[in-house]
Structure 1
Amino acid sequence: MSSNTLTSLTDQKSAATIDIEDVTHFLLELDALKRVNRRSYVTHTTRRENSAEHSWHLAMACWSIAELFELNVNHEKLLKMALVHDLGEIDAGDTFLFANSRSDAHIEERVGIARLQAERGNGIAALSEVWEEQETGSSKETQLLRVVDRLLPFLLNLNTEGKTWIESQVTRSQVAAALAFIKDSFPPIHDWLSQNIEYATEQGWLIDA
């Protein structure tokens, strides 16, 4: 036998009980997140980002910030929470940050997560648990996730000349209120956001109210 022969990734006895049709079924269920469009526009384009792209951006941003600031967080937990963060939107759709229905969005999303948890081919036993942690938890990982989840759409708006803000007639006070919690959890980011809220208002991208 050649020394270059790869070792099998699976134990054939256990793998024999798994239907690959079920595996691919679940992978396609996850693919549906690509069809959920958000309000933010992708920089240097005229299209909106989808929730799968946001989840990837969120995971990468959390990872980078955690390492850059040498934060005492569990990276595996953080990245898993970022990846499942928007999965409930497959069933519930995206809810705009400043929509009146924002406070109820988690109800439909939780139902969607329960459905995905029960789907055939799902190999993530803790899917609902991880989603619930990022939704309602208070760990350092959850706090960082929430900060970055608010930072990214702000950053996209800032670099698309406030396109989403203008379309939805968003006010300076609305944005400031949505970002206020960051002052306690990550002061340097909040300071930067505050400076750029003023800049966006001066540019006419945010209504000065």
Structure 2
Amino acid sequence: MTPETYLALLVRAGKLKTAVRHCWLAPERQESVADHSWRMALMALLLEHEPEFAQVDLDRVIRLCLIHDLGEAFTGDIPTFQKDETDRQTEDQVYQKWLATFPEADRKDWQALLAEWDAQNTVEAKVAKALDKLEAVISHNESDITTWLPLEHDLQYTYPEKAVAFSPWLQALKNLVDKWTSKKESRVAGHESRACYCKVKG
């Protein structure tokens, strides 16, 4: 790969830093797709010494985490509850068109990774998919609950459920996140109850 091609690919991939996701990290800061992909990769790295994942190629999982959403450098992010098959096809088409500009060896490597992600027939792809969904609910728990849409209160519990079913360790992580979600919702409910009591009493 020439330096010119290398730089051009990095510049396009850098668009993920400004491709915003639905989640708000702070009052003036929406999460970017790059934020999401980076933490997925970190989540994979941190599994290195967990016995359950000893036979998993975590380097490959990290690769899957880093490239799975790069089509959104062209299309932007569409929340999962709004994304339809046409959106997925459009994203795949522009991604494949971009890959056609890669040197052959790199193109084949990335195409193989994307095919593996789509097929979900390896443990590496399953781990990456589970981390994808878990990272999303963790980010939502970090955000102000007033930014959640009504449907997201249920999605917090159901969104990762099928993806983690194959892994006891990831199920345990989901259960921990679920407890965090419940606590977050309980605090808000308690605050609203106190506010109503004070209003009536006053």
Q: How far apart are residue 122 of structure 1 and its match?
A: 7.7
Distance 1:189 1:107, change over 3 A: same
Among 127, 137, 142, the alignment partner of 2:110 is 127
Distance 1:122 1:26, change over 3 A: farther
Q: For residues 164-207 of structure 1, what are the alpha-carbon distances to aligned partners after superposition, in whole Å with 9 as ceiling and x for unaligned?
A: 41xx23343333332221452232123223323332332348xx
2:57 corresponds to which residue? 74
Identity within the alignment, %: 17
Q: Structure 2 stretches of 5 or more lacking a match? A: 190-202
Q: For residues 50-103 of structure 1, what are the alpha-carbon distances to aligned partners after superposition, in whole Å with 9 as ceiling and x for unaligned?
A: 11222111111111134345512102211111110110111222111222x345
Q: TM-score, normalised by structure 1?
A: 0.75
150-159 or 189-198, which moves further after superposition? 189-198
Distance 1:131 1:65, change over 3 A: same
Structure with greater proportional helix content: 2
Q: TM-score, normalised by structure 2?
A: 0.77
Among 152, 176, 179, the alignment partner of 1:195 is 179
2:125 corresponds to which residue? 142
Among 71, 75, 93, the alignment partner of 1:111 is 93
For these two proteins, the number of residue pairs brought into alignment is 184
2:42 corresponds to which residue? 60
Separation (CA, whole Å) in 2 of partners of 1:191 and 1:112: 37
Q: Structure 1 stretches of 5 or more lacking a match? A: 1-17
Among 16, 27, 30, the alignment partner of 1:48 is 30
- Look up the SS of the partner of 2:46 in the other structure: helix
Among 68, 78, 94, the alignment partner of 2:77 is 94
1:181 corresponds to which residue? 162
Separation (CA, whole Å) in 2 of partners of 1:70 and 1:200: 30
1:153 corresponds to which residue? 136
Whether contact under 8 Å (2:134, 2:174) holds in the other structure is: no
Q: State the Cα RMSD in Å.
A: 2.5
Separation (CA, whole Å) in 2 of partners of 1:28 and 1:121: 16
Instruction: Name the aligned partner's letter for residue 16 of structure 2.
Output: L
